């Protein structure tokens, strides 16, 4: 395959079957099977782009603590300087990343290893993308139309490595989501919802930007939990016990899509577009699989995000691609936009999460659920790089149903923050 006139070697995706007892050593093996040290330069800063698709814990929705911990330990074991590694978050108007990193126990891992933890919207400098990528902007499929004056990206991304930490799950906008979609929550600011009508083209443009600005790009995907249905939040999670890694963002998303039972080139538009543009390999037949190759033969036969959509996802489709596009979508680019943020928080946080926890009741009893619940008590010492994992995961699983009232009040607080920090309001205030 080619990119910018350079002939690239056949794409490689590593896949391993894992369990709590071996997950830490498995992540180290996984990353080296995918040759991450050839891509992630040791003398550069490395951003660990943590995925928070919901500020509440929900299996398969966000980066798992063992995924983050396994990646950090692997890098430390291979001689990477922890002072050059940092956690990385961005903000959306409907997700509280500070709450999310606590509820998903990601901050526990970051603090244990004494890494920097950077929230890109707090004190970081952002620059216009056209100043960062130059003439590459002329090749964008859609972003020049969405943002005629350009848009802002974090300056710190220029020249540093990035390791994406997505999970294996479906998505109501893109069918599946993974490494390519994870950049969506890092490169774009709060007005990223402007791109939803052209989301597939947007992901391709963002991958072009990443290849231009980053010194190295890698992805480590967790499929210990995997989510099917109207993701990235209201899914049915399953225990699948697989992890994946690759330096080719298109290839790892294609392999994950195949695992879930989709045709990457036929069902996933952003994969096909990226493949056709030479940004990676989206055809599983042309991807070198290393590790537990037999795991790829176990199609999960996921139904996907569209057969049992929630009320919220159906309304989103009507607004972005259906009959409501004309009369309603325009409001999302005006000072009226916060109505949609409030609607999302009220539906997902206040209503759906407290009333649908029966969906995850059984999966919380799994070894992964118990490990999550008992994480603080069972956490491996940060300087212990030889322990393979957790032989003992504890006895008690999380009892989220008993915390419904707690989350209800948290959702109301998030709603107030959402209104206060809406970019349309802040922009209006700055103009005044």
- Residue 153 tokens, joined: 């990206």
Q: What does the pLDDT look like over 275-311, one tens digit per residue?
A: 999 999 999 999 999 999 999 888 899 999 999 999 9
Q: Which residue range(s) make up the domain with 43?
A: 9-307
Query: Is 180 part of any domain?
Result: yes
Q: What is the pLDDT of residue 3?
A: 40
**Would residue 331 count as lying in a domain?**
no
Are the C-beta atoms of 339 and 331 separated by less than 8 Å? yes
Rounded to whole angstroms, the Cα distance separating 87 from 151 reads 23
Rounded Cα–Cα distance for residues 127 and 96 (Å): 23
Confidence of residue 407 (pLDDT cuts 50, 70, 90): low
Q: Strands 236-246 and 216-228: what pairing?
A: antiparallel
Are 390 and 81 in contact, with CB atoms under 8 Å apart? no
The fraction of the chain above a pLDDT of 90, given in percent, is 72
Q: Which residue has the tokens 């009508």?
A: 197
B/e letters for 104-129, b = 16+ CB within 10 Å, e = fewer, are bbbbbbbebbebebbebbeeeebeeb
Number of domains observed in the structure of the chain:
1
pLDDT for the residue 330: 72
Mean of the pLDDT values across residues 179-186? 92
Percent of the chain past pLDDT 70, that is, above it, reads 89
Write down the pTM of the prediction. Answer: 0.92
The domain that contains 184 carries what CATH number? 3.40.50
pLDDT digits (tens, 9 = 90+) for 226-259: 999 999 999 999 999 999 999 999 999 999 999 9
Under 8 Å between Cβ of 213 and 160 = no
Q: Is residue 318 part of a domain?
A: no
**98 domain residue, yes or no:** yes
Query: In the prediction, which pLDDT does 93 show?
Result: 72
Round to whole Å and give the CA distance between 231 and 234. 5
- Kindly indicate the confidence band of residue 186, based on its pLDDT and cuts at 50, 70 and 90: confident
251-278 residue pLDDT tens:
999 999 999 999 999 999 999 999 999 9
CA distance 26 to 100: 26
Considering the domain boundaries, does residue 412 fall inside one?
no
Residue 345 lies in a domain: no
Does residue 394 fall inside a structural domain?
no
Residue 175 lies in a domain: yes
């Amino acid at each position: 395959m080619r990119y910018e006139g350079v002939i690239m070697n056949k794409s490689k995706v590593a896949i391993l079957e894992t369990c709590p007892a071996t997950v830490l050593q498995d992540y180290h093996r996984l990353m080296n099977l995918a040759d991450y040290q050839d891509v992630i330069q040791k003398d550069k800063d490395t951003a660990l782009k943590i995925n928070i698709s919901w500020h509440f814990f929900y299996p398969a929705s966000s980066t798992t603590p063992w995924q983050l911990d396994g990646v950090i330990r692997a890098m430390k074991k291979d001689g990477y300087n922890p002072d050059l590694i940092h956690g990385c978050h961005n903000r959306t108007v409907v997700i509280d990343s500070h709450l999310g990193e606590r509820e998903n126990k990601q901050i526990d891992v970051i603090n244990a290893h004494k890494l920097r933890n950077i929230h890109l919207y707090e004190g970081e400098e952002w620059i216009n993308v056209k100043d960062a990528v130059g003439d590459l902007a002329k090749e964008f499929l859609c972003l020049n139309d969405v943002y005629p004056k350009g848009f802002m990206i974090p300056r710190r991304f220029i020249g540093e490595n990035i390791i994406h930490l997505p999970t294996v799950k479906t998505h109501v906008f893109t069918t599946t989501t993974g490494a390519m979609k994870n950049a969506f929550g890092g490169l774009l600011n709060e007005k990223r919802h402007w791109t939803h009508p052209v989301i597939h083209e947007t992901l391709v443009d963002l991958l072009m930007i990443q290849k231009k600005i980053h010194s190295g790009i890698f992805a480590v995907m967790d499929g210990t939990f995997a989510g099917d249905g109207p993701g990235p939040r209201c899914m049915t999670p399953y225990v699948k016990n697989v992890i994946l890694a690759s330096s080719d963002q298109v290839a790892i998303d294609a392999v994950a899509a195949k695992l879930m039972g989709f045709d990457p080139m036929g069902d996933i538009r952003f994969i096909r577009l990226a493949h056709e543009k030479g940004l990676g390999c989206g055809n599983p037949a042309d991807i070198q699989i290393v590790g537990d190759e037999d795991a790829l033969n176990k199609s999960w036969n996921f139904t996907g995000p569209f057969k049992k959509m929630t009320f919220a996802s159906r309304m989103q489709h009507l607004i972005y691609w259906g009959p409501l596009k004309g009369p309603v979508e325009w409001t999302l680019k005006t000072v009226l936009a916060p109505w949609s943020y409030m609607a999302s928080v009220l539906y997902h946080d206040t209503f759906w999460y407290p009333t649908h926890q029966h969906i995850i009741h059984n999966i919380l009893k799994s070894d992964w659920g118990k490990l999550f619940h008992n994480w603080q008590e069972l956490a491996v010492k940060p300087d212990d790089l030889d322990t393979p994992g957790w032989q003992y995961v504890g006895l008690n699983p999380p009892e989220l149903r008993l915390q419904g009232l707690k989350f209800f009040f948290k959702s109301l607080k998030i709603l107030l923050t959402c209104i206060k920090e809406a970019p349309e309001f802040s922009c209006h205030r700055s103009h005044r």
